[in-house]
Structures are given as structure tokens and as C-alpha cells.
Amino acid sequence: MEAKRVLCNIQQIYGRPAVYLQPLRDAGFEIVFNDKGRHLTEADLIERLPGVFATIAGGEPYTERVFASAKDLKVVARFGVGWDKVDVDAATRHGIAVAMAFGANHESVADGAFALALGLSVNLLALHNRVVQGGWGCGFQPGLWGRTMGIVGFGRIGQAVARRCRGFAMRAMAYDVAPDADKAREYNVELVPLNRLLSEADIVSLHTPILPETRNMIGASELGLMKPTSFIINTARGGLIDEEALYRALADRRIAGAGLDVFAKEPPQGSPLLKLDNVLLAPHALGMDEAAERLMAERCVANILAIYSGRHPGPGFVLNPQVLAA
């Protein structure tokens, strides 16, 4: 029997109308949801994947063991732009396409990164707590207008951050292993080596994927290059920063603060970062506004329907396009 089920693992849209999933129903697919209130485990996936043609994937693990057991699965459609939870090589060996929602949530993530930068720069959380606790009065905050933003990773999200810098009259610098010089000129961004960016930026914002060469790319030596008045923002992946080194730098006030939407372990239960007063934290949620929800879901649906009908979803959307030819 032909597999005609789609497993939607995005807990945030469970129980919502999700009209953007209707094209799947119109094509004859039954949509089943992860209603556990948490990411599915490897065992959970193995149990649920028989008869499933495609998944709309969140943060659940797609391992060799999962793919080996999923005889009906043909598409993992990522609800986002990161694939660190997907063993792409294993997917390829088992003939399963890994399709991405590139271009769908970069504006939303950039909004989130800027929110963290602005919140830290005006000391918003401390001021909020002062009022709630019955206090009053103010000091002088560093502010964001006219400061220097250092963007690590100058892809879609980094470029969206750079556009926002113009509205705050900020100097923008960027580091990327393969920078887009045309976009840098368009957005008045100075392309610089990483060490220079870290030493000159008032805010360092990370927007690079997690790869073997980028894991812990910000460690003690890199944090040591930053100014004591500077902030670091991470809305990309927690593994980009050595969290032990970050904690020491923050606790010793070697840097002024950090805004984190992502962590090496999620949720970060027991992390010493949670005890600091110079951090602003979010639960890996700052790219999840309603516009991103719609655009990412529509891209996932388009990817699934294209592959189901034997069409290519479009250049760049499938990480292992060789499986489509097969």
C-alpha cells in the first residue's frame, strides 16, 4: 500500500488551524501530529514512521537507526534552516531526501537577534525587574544607536541583520568564509577577518551553521578578544560557543553580557548561565513569529508535494539531490 501519511513534528502548530497544510490533505495525505509536548526520541520516531511518506521535522533526531527502520519514508522536510539533527549521509544511503525551508524565516531570526541586542543595550530586563520589585530611577545605558555590529555569518540572516543596522545608524562588520561582496557593498558592510570583528564590535551576532569546523568557534581566546563593554548574541546554534568559556567571561565581567536563543543542551537545565544577571535568554523561539510559521510550513508542503509528484522542489532546497535522480 502506498504511504500517504505526513508526520508533523512541530509542536507549536499542534491544535492550530494550520490552513497552510491543506494542500497535503487535498493531495490525499493524512496528517498526524506529534502531540507529546516534547521532541520525539529516536524510539518514538521508529514507532511512528511506518506508513509515513514524509515528516515535517523539528528538533527530533534522524539517525542511521531511524532511517534504517523507516521503509516508507521518502522526505524529511525541515521546518527551518538547520540540519544538525539529521544524519544527511544516512538519509542519502536510504534514499530519503532532506528538504529545507531556506529563505522562509531569516527576517524573523534577524528580528529576534536585534531584539536581544536592543534588550541588552538598554538593560531592559533589569529595568523591568526594578519596576516590578517596587523600585524606580535610572542610570545611563550603553544604547544601540550608532554602535558597531559584528555579524559572524553573512548569509540570508546575517544580511537581514545588516539591513536593520542601517535604521540604527550602526557601523556593520561581517565575517564569512565565502562572503557575498556585492551584498556587503549594498548594505554598507565591511568584510573583515574574525579576530578583527571580535576586537572592534560592540555587539557580536552569530549567524553561521553548526559544522565540524564551526563547533565551539567562539571559545576562551575569541571571547578574550572582545571588549569588556561588548555583548554576544547567538540565535543560530548553541554549539557555536564554548559555554563553559562563555560563563567564565560573563561571570568575571570580561564581556558585558550575552543574548542567547540557543544552547549546547536544550533545554539548558542546570546550566550556570541561568544564574547570571547579565544574560537575556529565550527558548529557541526567536525565529518563530507568525510570518515565519506560514512561510516555513508552506515551503515544507511545497517540498513534499514536489518530491511526491516526481518534480524537483527547486535549486538548493534539497541537501542530497542525488536521491531525487535515483
Catalytic residues: 237, 266, 284
Q: How far apart are CA 294 and CA 300, in angstroms?
A: 10
Nearest alpha-carbon partner for 259 in 203, 324, 202: 203
> Which one, of 236, 218, 295, lies nearest residue 83 by Cα?
236
Q: Which residue has the cell 515551503?
A: 299
Of 62, 68, 72, 60, the closest CA to residue 4 belongs to 72
SS3 172: strand
| Cβ partners under 8 Å of residue 79, min gap 6 | 9, 10, 56, 57, 58, 101, 296, 297, 300
**In Å, how far are 50, 125, 178, 278 from 135, measured between CA atoms?**
58, 13, 49, 19
Query: Residue 229: CB partners within 8 Å, gap ≥ 6?
Result: 142, 202, 256
Closest by Cα among 278, 297, 279 to 288: 297
Helix axes 156-167, 106-121, angle to 10 degrees: 50
* Alpha helix positions (H), 133-264: 156-167, 181-186, 194-200, 220-225, 243-251
CA 129 to chain centre: 28
